[in-house]
Structure 1
């Protein structure tokens, strides 16, 4: 595995830390910027908006750039947004920096995925993507608690300065080790869109949305479930979150090994595991011991499908090397946004925190159904969505 792939994963770690750490900084931001905690929480939504829009827009606008130049530009802008946010007392300026930072972070994901795939043979694509996406898993285990620790001792601005420094360090590594290459041919948007307009690709994107939402609907309220339903003391919540992170790291490692040789089977096993884990979590939410084990399994099964979801579009639409990964990033962020929103609706309706796990099981069942549909369409991977059935026979 080329060193450049690991550097891309470390760059995702640097940026992913910013994505995750805000959850532990809301109180400090609220007090310092004189806004309510719900208003501070909107900064998380702002990041999601930027991620959703950034991948397709930047994939198109930077399509003729060298990949290293694009990656360096994204990291530079990301670092600047954190310097600006750490230096201002304006809530709305911080809000704007979250959107812009997420916008270029999504671009980094898209171009970084295409770069990693181009550096390895077809038989190692899943493993390469497990390393790149593993940067976000490491951010869950290390970056989230570290950002919260820095925020507690140096203030939320200190955490933002730290992310800016990590981003600059990532720039140095990308400049030194990522090859300065361009796509073999300048991407053509119309041809790439045509390549993506096949049913298996859209089933893949739908599976990504539902599988991600199935995991995030529970994870988004895991801290509250642990304290309010399971009865765990607040100071032990980070420990259980670390257990989730350990499971995620194991899952993405195993999933990376099987993604290339058994992609659909990996999806079936992983999504089935998320469904079973969610059901058991809903049933045992009041008991600490099974909850801790199930949190580990939720991370393992949920992240175990990540390498397939990230890499399979390159097999289904090999000519869509620019817009394919951009579509992946957008699909992931729809799931990331939809899952916690659905959980919030259930909790607001008075259904209790265990209800989020039931929702996760239902969403997982939808993802499993789409995966089953995909298995029936494997011989038709190149069939356009709009092509009539009579033309396929």
Structure 2
């Protein structure tokens, strides 16, 4: 289901639109905090339950798998739902998952709760972006979507370090409980200030699914699902790397994670500019840079200053890919715009699961805490190869 932007925005004042979009951004903020703060608290979770690094990494993998499964299923299953109702249900499910995680008595319960919390992630960003664009109206749509995604960026600069500090000071459970409160506030905010968009145009589930028959859509999803995993291979185990390899005091981890968040914000802004100038070439350049940065991080991690600088660059190059991948999906998706918007987050969280698993695997084999960076560089190189094939393919077959 899509909306007619002009009809949706006609009866709303600019202030009402801004408040509604901020309510949607609050949900993005909560999602960003729970996704990334868990990585900064993974060592505390492992210590509490007596888990090995790979076993603790399942907490990250479970959330990512929830996103991968939830985004396409919810998008297709709810294609005829009212958008506001769907947003409320998604954030309610997100809230429940995080509250259960906060009170999880066993590692297995925590893993299951994280899976549930991840299910609404992709669908929420997809639907919230479309609702924001429709409320803003023609000429202001991209700005509205960027405001929703800004919640995710702000989460990495402020929310994740704050949640990490809270988790270290009061226990990791407090961080998940705080996210549950953010989720509940988002439900209330959507209920009060987000109207149901008017001018809705129904897109049948079959039309949404038709996007999956397009080779360029599948190739772009593969780039995100594999290449982006390099960043997560490093970030999932970043607390061990920064403390045990770089020699940074554990008390400084919130500040270290804030630096990573700043890298993500910078990369997101730069990636949008690069994609606007030349989408395919820009993505190729970013993917190549990410491969090199990840490889260099395995060396940079041995000194606190170079480790922090390297982490900033890992965050910036990884995040710079996201706008381009989203734009490429939308370019090739046809009428399956909602599914494409959601599947981008599915692909990136498939990368989250793959990176967390591979990083834990090389650590378990005894290669040390810098080995995830080299494994991540390998994933990024594979993603770059897929992108090269995708970009060159249309040129070879330009004429039927």
TM-score, L = length of structure 1: 0.84
Secondary structure, aligned partner of 2:201: coil
Residues 8/265 of structure 1: CA separation in 2 closer, same or farther (3 Å cut): farther
Find out whether 1:303 has 2:326 as its counterpart: no
Find out whether 1:323 has 2:339 as its counterpart: yes
How many angstroms apart in 1 are the aligned matches of 2:102 and 2:33? 15
For residues 192-218 of structure 1, what are the alpha-carbon distances to aligned partners after superposition, in whole Å with 9 as ceiling and x for unaligned? 222331211111101111231121112
Partner of 2:227: 211
How many angstroms apart in 2 are the aligned matches of 1:30 and 1:280? 28
For residues 311-366 of structure 1, what are the alpha-carbon distances to aligned partners after superposition, in whole Å with 9 as ceiling and x for unaligned? 33122113002322232222111111111211222222222333322222222222
Residues 224/126 of structure 1: CA separation in 2 closer, same or farther (3 Å cut): farther
Counterpart selection for 1:228 from 244, 256, 263: 244
Residues 267/125 of structure 1: CA separation in 2 closer, same or farther (3 Å cut): farther
Residues 219/86 of structure 1: CA separation in 2 closer, same or farther (3 Å cut): closer
Q: Is the 8 A contact 1:129 1:311 kept in 2?
A: no
Partner of 1:73: 89
Unpaired segments of 5 or more residues in structure 2? 1-13
Q: Is the 8 A contact 1:126 1:307 kept in 2?
A: no
Partner of 1:13: 29
**1:299 positional shift:** 1.3
How many angstroms apart in 2 are the aligned matches of 1:153 and 1:11? 25
How many angstroms apart in 2 are the aligned matches of 1:368 and 1:61? 33
For residues 171-190 of structure 1, what are the alpha-carbon distances to aligned partners after superposition, in whole Å with 9 as ceiling and x for unaligned? 23333444412784322222
Secondary structure, aligned partner of 1:232: coil
Find out whether 1:57 has 2:57 as its counterpart: no
Partner of 2:359: 343
Secondary structure, aligned partner of 1:266: helix
Q: Is the 8 A contact 2:160 2:258 kept in 1?
A: no
Find out whether 1:166 has 2:182 as its counterpart: yes
Partner of 1:385: none
How many angstroms apart in 1 are the aligned matches of 2:389 and 2:56? 41
Residues 225/315 of structure 1: CA separation in 2 closer, same or farther (3 Å cut): same
Residues 8/296 of structure 1: CA separation in 2 closer, same or farther (3 Å cut): same
Find out whether 1:100 has 2:110 as its counterpart: no
Find out whether 1:367 has 2:388 as its counterpart: no
Find out whether 1:37 has 2:28 as its counterpart: no
Unpaired segments of 5 or more residues in structure 1? 381-388
Q: Is the 8 A contact 1:210 1:335 kept in 2?
A: yes
**1:138 positional shift:** 2.2
Partner of 2:166: 150
How many angstroms apart in 2 are the aligned matches of 1:264 and 1:196? 20
Range that drifts further, 326-335 or 148-157: 148-157
**1:118 positional shift:** 4.5
Range that drifts further, 241-250 or 277-286: 277-286
Find out whether 1:193 has 2:195 as its counterpart: no
Q: Is the 8 A contact 2:57 2:236 kept in 1?
A: no
Count of residues paired in the alignment: 382
Residues 84/356 of structure 1: CA separation in 2 closer, same or farther (3 Å cut): closer
Q: Is the 8 A contact 1:134 1:252 kept in 2?
A: no
Residues 90/361 of structure 1: CA separation in 2 closer, same or farther (3 Å cut): closer
Secondary structure, aligned partner of 1:162: helix
How many angstroms apart in 2 are the aligned matches of 1:121 and 1:211? 34
Aligned Cα root-mean-square deviation (Å): 3.1
**1:246 positional shift:** 1.1
How many angstroms apart in 1 are the aligned matches of 2:171 and 2:370? 33
Range that drifts further, 326-335 or 123-132: 123-132
